[in-house]
């Protein structure tokens, strides 16, 4: 399978600083390819190389002192195996690598992201979907990532491990229920890895009941066990009233406490 994506971006910036006003544009072609070989109906291997990109903030593209490119190219590949050799289990494992010409790093004191150095990321993803009986479904996905700038420094906020496990009971008359666990592992908050984020685990519950062919009532309970964890963590300097000088410390966005939501869906 072959593919080609074409992108064009055009920016027109009006700044409070006249020197930073102006226009910028960029175009990029991104070829992609996938090779798949099926041994039989139960197993296949694949290789998927290709190119992609991310765009930079429009304001930075016309910055008179240090303009940034509108589009930043990335090159990557993925090689993996998919199998259904075990009855009821769909499983895949993939090795991947991604090289980006530059990273976007959050700058806390300015509240913006800025262009940083080139980077290399590589990792492993293991995805599973198991249906041992018609009324039970288990989804289990795991990922391990190694992220570094080209000079060897850590990429701030690039976490090392993530996991999601969800168990679903279904086809129990009009009822169904899902219990999902989400794990975000630790990661470097600064380039030298001297400060790291704390891992977090959240559990969500969903219970649904069909009220007829076109209506469904659903109860979602987020953060079921009311854990005190952080969704986002940064490390930078800030200065509170009464502090003589800025202090480097963690800045966090806490996860919402236990929250319930009841919804009714009606299809016409």
For the chain, the average pLDDT equals 94
Could you list the residue range(s) of the whole structural domain that residue 245 is in? 113-268
Contact 109, 139 (CB under 8 A): no
Please check whether residues 34 and 119 belong to one and the same domain: no
Mapped onto helix, strand or coil, the DSSP state of residue 157 is coil
pLDDT in tens, 137-153: 999 999 999 999 999 99
pLDDT in tens, 242-252: 999 999 999 99
Please check whether residues 131 and 75 belong to one and the same domain: no
d(CA 116, CA 183): 28
Please check whether residues 167 and 128 belong to one and the same domain: yes
With a cut of 90, say whether residue 65 has pLDDT above it: no
Worst-scoring range by mean pLDDT, 45-54, 108-117, 123-132, 137-146? 108-117
Q: What is the pLDDT of residue 158?
A: 94
With a cut of 90, say whether residue 27 has pLDDT above it: yes
Determine, yes or no, domain membership for 94: no
Could you tell me the pLDDT band of residue 105, with boundaries at 50, 70 and 90?
Answer: confident
**DSSP strand E in the chain: where?**
2-13, 22-33, 35-40, 43-55, 71-83, 89-100, 104-107, 112-115, 119-133, 136-149, 161-172, 175-184, 200-212, 215-222, 230-238, 247-254, 259-266
Contact 209, 177 (CB under 8 A): no
Please check whether residues 191 and 70 belong to one and the same domain: no
């Amino acid at each position: 399978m072959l593919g080609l994506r074409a992108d064009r971006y055009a920016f027109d910036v009006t700044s409070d600083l006249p020197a930073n006003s102006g226009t910028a544009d960029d175009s990029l072609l991104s070829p992609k390819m996938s090779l798949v070989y099926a041994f039989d109906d139960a197993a296949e291997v694949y290789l998927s190389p290709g190119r992609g990109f991310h765009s930079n903030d429009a304001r930075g593209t016309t910055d008179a002192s240090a303009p940034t490119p509108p589009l930043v190219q990335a090159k990557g590949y993925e090689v993996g195996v998919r199998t259904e050799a075990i009855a009821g289990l769909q499983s895949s494992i993939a090795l991947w690598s991604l090289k980006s010409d530059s990273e976007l790093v959050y700058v806390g004191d300015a509240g913006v992201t800025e262009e940083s150095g080139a980077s290399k990321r590589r990792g492993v993803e293991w995805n599973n979907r198991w249906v041992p009986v018609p009324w039970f479904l288990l989804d289990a996905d795991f990922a391990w990532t190694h992220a570094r700038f080209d000079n060897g420094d850590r990429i701030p906020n690039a976490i090392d491990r993530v996991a999601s496990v969800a168990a679903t009971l279904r086809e129990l008359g009009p009822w169904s229920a899902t219990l999902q666990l989400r794990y975000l592992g630790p990661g470097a908050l600064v380039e030298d890895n001297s400060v790291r984020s704390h891992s977090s685990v959240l559990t969500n519950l969903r219970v649904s009941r069909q009220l007829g062919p076109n209506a469904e009532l659903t109860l979602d309970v987020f953060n079921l066990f009311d854990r005190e964890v952080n969704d986002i963590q940064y490390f930078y300097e800030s200065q509170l009233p009464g502090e003589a000088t800025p202090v480097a410390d963690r800045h966090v966005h806490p996860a919402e406490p236990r929250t319930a939501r009841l919804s009714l869906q009606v299809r016409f």
